[in-house]
Structure 1
Amino acid sequence: MKRITMRGQTVEEAVDKALAQLHLSKEAVDIVVVQQEKKPFLGLFGGQEAIVEIVIRHPFDCVKSFLKHVIEQMGVRVHLAFEQKDEHLVVLLSGPEVARVIGKHGQMLNALQLLAQGVLNRYTDRPLRVVIDAEGYRKRREETLVRLAKNMAKKAIQTRKDISLEPMSAWERKVIHTALSDDDRIQTFSAGTEPHRHVVISLKR
């Protein structure tokens, strides 16, 4: 578990600053007082700040609080549900304005997941992962990508030319690679740099 160190004029102030930064409640952390505050002698010298260490009980709590804060700041009517599965946190979004959180081709959803994973990595050294889905979007997107992969593979075979797909997220590229991995006539590889990295489908030479 990672520890967050915070200073303040008082222990209470240091704790409040740390919790505000993490968007967590006291119930989600353990608090260790490293140094009590000390008022300066005669108000002139010898004073010292309070120092506390905040131990996060589970890094998933940071992700949950982060996402709640982001959705609140976006001002969208979306409900968040969380499912913890071993080393995965699955976040399910639903509500009348969930389409705004998904974005075009899931770009907003992917960006939100990337940010959430960054928050998770910041507060743990364990190989934990967060997956964000919205009313079954990822399953529908996967089915669309598989169909696209099959169609483009046929085109590559017919034309005998390389086919470059549109830029995609790492997860989407993996879906394409997996969908065509059993076809011994073609090969796939990723090309370009983020955010323009894409899959290329070509005939095996």
Structure 2
Amino acid sequence: MTKILASGKTIEDAVRNGLTELQVSADRVNVTVIGQPSRGLFGFIGAKKAKVELELLPELPIVETQVTTDPITETERFVTEVARTMGLDITVTRQDSRDGVVLALSGSGDLGMLIGRRGQTLDALQYLVNIVANRYSDSHLRIVLDAEDFRERRRKTLEDLSDRLAGHVIRTKKEVVLEPMSPQERKIIHSQLQNHAKVKTLSKGDEPNRRVIISLK
């Protein structure tokens, strides 16, 4: 099978670059994360790009009758296999929510390995999970991956942070620039402060270094 290495600012960019090089869609490849991106010192010194390996899958022959594969079952199998390679024995529980299908991970061992620093590993795995799910689905599926209620705990942390920083901006009359965050986390900040009487928010910069700025109205 054809294999290539691709890189980008984020895991998503690296996969997208690899798909462009192969000139295929996401359902035609297996993706393996080789290296996580890193901003480096001062945001650029020693920065590392994300690296992935894309393995081109053989085209399936067209047959009259095909067995329907459940995309969620395949996704659960994928996550379980990834965890097993990390030495973790996990249980995957499916929950339906307004954001999509939530796959909650639990089990013995250090599930922090699946979460990573501020959820970076979990976000990267969630991206791959969505590729797997939509490979087997005729309509677009949105999969949210969670472990040990990390998403809810992180949401509460960011909401509390938003309120504290809004107060700081009001007291000092100076804007605050937050650290780079994922689109999902920036959305939490914006939503928490969107109806605030005295401060406003905006996002600035390019991924993966896009930041939220809180300032006076």
TM-score over 0.5 (shorter chain): yes
Q: CA deviation at 1:169?
A: 1.4
Task: Give deviations 1:17-47, integer Å, cap 9, x for gaps.
Answer: xxxx69xxxxxxxx9863xxxxxxxxxxxxx
Q: Which one has the largest radius of gyration?
A: 1
More displaced 10-residue stretch of structure 1: 154-163 or 122-131: 122-131
Correspondence for 2:92? 80
Distance 1:33 1:111, change over 3 A: closer
Quick check: 1:78–1:97 contact (8 Å CA) kept in 2?
no
Residue deviations 1:34-83 (CA, integer Å, cap 9, x gap): 3xxxxxxxxxxxxxxxxx98564432233222212211222223332223
Aligned to 2:101: 89
Residues 187 and 202, structure 1, Cα contact 8 Å, conserved in 2: yes
In structure 2, how many angstroms separate the alpha carbons of the residues matched to 1:191 and 1:65?
38
Aligned to 1:152: 165
- What is aligned with 1:181? 194
Q: Which residue of 2 aligns with 1:111?
A: 124
Of 85-94 and 157-166, more deviation after overlay is shown by 85-94
AA in 2 matched with 1:93: L
Tell me what 2:152 maps to. Answer: 139
In structure 1, what is the equivalent of residue 81 of structure 2?
69
Name the CA distance, whole Å, in 1 between partners of 2:99 and 2:155.
23
- Aligned-residue offset at 1:111: 1.4
Please give the TM-score of this superposition, normalised by the length of structure 2.
Answer: 0.64
Distance change >3 Å, CA 125–CA 184, structure 1 → 2? farther
Which residue type is aligned with residue 194 of structure 1? E
Deviation at 1:89? 2.2
Q: Which runs of 4+ in 1 moved over 6 A?
A: none
SS in 2 for 1:166: coil
The residue type equivalent to 1:81 in the other structure is: T
How many correspondences in the alignment?
161
Structure 2: distance between partners of 1:137 and 1:86: 18
Q: Distance in 1 between matches of 2:98 and 2:185?
A: 24
Q: How large is the Cα RMSD of the aligned pairs?
A: 2.9
| 2-structure distance, mates of 1:106, 1:89 | 18
Conservation of the 8 A alpha-carbon contact between 2:177 and 2:212? yes
SS at match of 1:115: helix
